[in-house]
Amino acid sequence: MSIRQLVGETAVYGLSSILGRFVNFLLVPLYTWLLVDREFGDIAFFYAGMGFLKVIFTLQLDTAFFRFGADPAQRDDAYRSILRPAVIYIALLGVLMFVAAPVLATWTGYAGYTADFRLVAILLALDAFSEFPLARLRLEQRPARFAAIRLTGIAINIAANVLLLWILPSFFTREESPWLYPSSRLTLVLWANLAASAVVFLWVSPHLAPWKRPGSMPWKPVLRYAAPLVVVSLAGVVNEMLDRQLLRYLLPGDDEHVRAQIGIYSATYRLAMVIALFTQAFRYAAEPFFFRQALRQDAPGTYARVTRYYTLAASAGLLVVLLFQDVIKYFIGREGSTYHEGLPILPILLLANVFLGLYYNFSVWYKVSDRTRAGAWIALAGAATTILLNTLLIPAWGYVASAWATLICYALMCLLSLYWGHRLYPVPYQFLVMGLYLGSAGLLAWGHGVVTNSWELAPRLILASVLALAYAGFWGWREYRTAKWSAPV
């Protein structure tokens, strides 16, 4: 597989994985225009918790399958060996969470949301079951089928949200259809998500049949490889989502104010997801690619070039969002909406997501060299930074503290991974060029904001378009002239 193929697969996976996470972004206008900020805060709080639980449900065994199923001759045996215990574990964990829903609801401060926690248990179990067939499609380089499955689920999720939150309430009153008006509209959002997850599960369920036949691969090496990755993933979820949880418990003010602040912060965070979503698409294609390249002598050079390309694409995304935020902001509410109060932290969150993507590139060394414990320690350092900074600063700075904590955490993880990896698995990253990509994007965005501060919207957008095209043209032409597209397997 060449870098050109990697770009192609990133585009195909991006169509699904970007929209997969981007579904939240696509639904943000629906939520922020129909729901008040505290209701959106409830949705953000629940989905942040689901991020933690998803890691617990999968235990990163799908990633372990990439490692032990990379050899086509061993792929079927590895799949059966991992799938059988995973299916049993997921089923037991789902039942346990379903039964313990009242306790979980009370413990999190949502005592009246027991039914919602039970919906979450079913939803998480279905998604976890589906991860293993989808992981196999990725390893077998079948991105078109993968994308078709993902896009179907996304379309159902969006359609169900629109139907339940907007269309049906327009035709039926509370007296006619009380089920459309639950005490919290979070319930309707979860039902829409569950419908999508159920369809995806039914689609991939034939590929779960091998769980009935045990494989011959020893289980201990799989657990030894996956266990540190669970720590990495949990720490990653802490860095990405724990701030919503901490804001609820550390922000001063009454319950209504706190939920509203979470809603404002979460809406702004969704705008910054443009970078995170591209990174997700990149990871879907890059993880198998990195493993396939690992045994080649020129692998470090290939990793360096891929990281340079990623930096250019992420920097361009950051620039476009900042240049056009005068228009993009309407994705999170009408003119004058309270959601727009969070826009000053948008540059911080965008830059944080660029660093997160760079960390995924810089961390390739411990994955391909089976030093996943190093990744666990780095992730734990990031999680500790997130917890410490949020805990100390939220009472005084509110969600601004959470934005800065996110940026500092990801920057620290990049530095730790680079330092550690340089000693054990040197990669010739081109830091000067990468710095120019990111620095010039930041400088253009800052300059545009200063120069056009008092301009009308139309000329601001015209200049923004010129700057975006100039950035893409200049750096794109440079890469076109110097790119090395061949890295065959």
Q: What is the mean pLDDT of the chain?
A: 82
Most confident range (mean pLDDT) of 42-51, 265-274, 414-423 is 414-423
112 vs 464, more confident: 464
What pLDDT digit, counting tens, does each position of 341-360 carry? 889 999 999 999 999 989 98
pLDDT at 339: 83
What pLDDT digit, counting tens, does each position of 120-176 carry? 999 999 999 998 888 878 777 677 788 788 888 888 998 999 999 889 888 888 888
Please give the backbone phi and psi of residue 111, each rounded to the nearest 5 degrees, phi first. Answer: -60, -30
Rounded to an integer, what distance in angstroms lies between the CA atom of residue 88 and that of residue 410?
35
16-20, 136-140, 149-153, 233-237: least confidently modelled range: 16-20
CB 287 within 8 A of CB 62: no
448 vs 64, more confident: 448
pLDDT at 112: 83
pLDDT at 413: 93
In Å, what is the CA distance from 440 to each residue of 118, 220, 311, 419, 476? 48, 48, 12, 25, 13
Residue 487, pLDDT > 50, answer: no
Residue 485, pLDDT > 50, answer: no
CB 386 within 8 A of CB 352: no
What pLDDT digit, counting tens, does each position of 355-380 carry? 998 998 898 888 777 787 788 888 88
Domain presence at residue 371: yes
pLDDT at 486: 43
Domain presence at residue 487: no
pLDDT at 133: 85
pLDDT confidence bin for 25, thresholds 50/70/90: low
Q: Which two tokens stand for residue 413?
A: 């993880």
Rounded to an integer, what distance in angstroms lies between the CA atom of residue 287 and that of residue 275?
18
Domain that residue 255 falls in: 3-482
pLDDT at 284: 64
Percent of the residues in the chain that have a pLDDT greater than 70, as a whole number: 85
Domain presence at residue 489: no
Q: Which two tokens stand for residue 432?
A: 């000067």
143-147, 397-401, 462-466: least confidently modelled range: 143-147
pLDDT at 488: 41
pLDDT at 98: 96
Most confident range (mean pLDDT) of 48-52, 222-226, 468-472 is 468-472
CB 454 within 8 A of CB 485: no
Residue 13, pLDDT > 70, answer: no
CB 281 within 8 A of CB 17: yes
CB 52 within 8 A of CB 241: yes
End-to-end CA distance of the chain: 5
**Structural domain tally of the chain?**
1
pLDDT confidence bin for 338, thresholds 50/70/90: confident
Residue 229, pLDDT > 80, answer: no
Alpha helices in 35-60 (DSSP H): 37-58
What pLDDT digit, counting tens, does each position of 245-302 carry? 888 888 888 877 887 888 889 888 888 877 877 777 677 666 666 766 666 777 788 8
Domain presence at residue 488: no
What pLDDT digit, counting tens, does each position of 208-217 carry? 876 666 655 6
pLDDT confidence bin for 58, thresholds 50/70/90: confident
What pLDDT digit, counting tens, does each position of 173-211 carry? 888 888 888 877 889 999 999 999 999 999 988 888 766
Domain presence at residue 306: yes
pLDDT at 406: 93
Q: What is the pTM of this model?
A: 0.73
Q: What is the DSSP letter of 73?
A: G
- Mean of the pLDDT values across residues 484-488? 44
pLDDT at 237: 80
